[in-house]
Structure 1
């Protein structure tokens, strides 16, 4: 709970990822300004965008300071299952973990690259877990948590695929950063996943999904029903946001990072979408505060 004992702890750690904006340094710079203006206190950017940021990390720090925004995490996409890419995966993760630490962040969100074949075997998931464990040890050396992030369109999308990896990771060095919208789009129940792995979850992507069966991949398509790869602002879809936050509990100390996948066909400006999600979450916070206050009066 907050210091006043009325609102959940996550309300103090509410941020937004940069994926709603273009995946460029210019897009990231705008995301920093917009996320702060929309009322969030932290941001997550892509590791590869930090690599390309003009002026390097000093410029990122300057932009964060100007916006009054905290750097929380980087999204880090690596192969995990391809043995020929293992060394480059680890090299990238060492660089990205160092950047996260230098910016004052604490989490590396580690997601697998896109699926490149129809089926994956147990040995692939064993390899993925072993690589994740090595990534976890690298991140820990920088004081950063490596948090695994299942993702649609990758070798770890369905509930069984999530289980295949989570049953094999070393929980002493690898945590979890589920994405509620990705899990729903992949056909699983995000509430069940959060409840099942609650003790391992150190970071959460809070994303909503339009519902039904999606045929939209990472690149988008004419089948995109929302302009956000079938996702929607938080509170506008089928994801049970209240149950997910309740499953985390009022004292869960991690960051809740709102996310919405922007495309060229997004129906509104990124800042407007971010404000819509923030407004919905503010309503939840107000409801929680009112309920806590009422309980205090009755006691």
Structure 2
């Protein structure tokens, strides 16, 4: 779990709720996180415009990359597709592409590329200025899906060119869309301010979707955490967390199967572990007010105001 107050990253025991510091405060925000198969935790640095890579066992910072070239930035969320890490920036209309080696080797700073969005207009000021946020591959793994928080538009994005095309979601409300998780062809979208989890059923290419259901809060713990190569979602079948816990206690299926290459590692705060999540797993960013020192997605307006004070920019 990450802190926007000082950048601390915590490890939570999902059975007891006890926490410990994995990596101490840096003095700058930490927002989205992603855990890969090599035990590395990628941490988005928000307004610092950077990304840290942390050993999830020792908490040691392995490397820090500077992604943004100026102060108008909010590095936010991650996904991996075709051996590349793609990173959203909620204030700058770009994707960052971080190539990983065949064995997952980390790149040199000079190898990181910035891909401008084409067809996605960034807009808004202050509280309404939060744009690209959650990101995940399409069901067929041939493109990316990116949700724009302030417009509620879901885009299918060409990972090579940055060309974004709105997905036909059949009128589903994705306003304040934030963290996303794809499992098979089912897309879970956390909507932070209305405190809802919206479920969409997509076609294979991710060009169309239909509304499945809404889950009411207290969902999260704002973003859906991920662990690469072991796919999953925070919730399934629009169940309450209590019902989900009862069902998954008896569920012996292999954990989190599907092509989305991610694993949820945090459940609703105070509600116990998410489906098939292991005790002691790293928790994802975002939490209700009664969970201390963590990222709350409802804190995005507060983050925007902080950015204005620091830079004088809207």
TM-score (norm 2): 0.32
**Larger RCO: 1 or 2 (CA < 8 Å, sep 6+):** 1
Larger radius of gyration: 1
Larger fraction in strand: 2
TM-score (normalizing by structure 1): 0.33
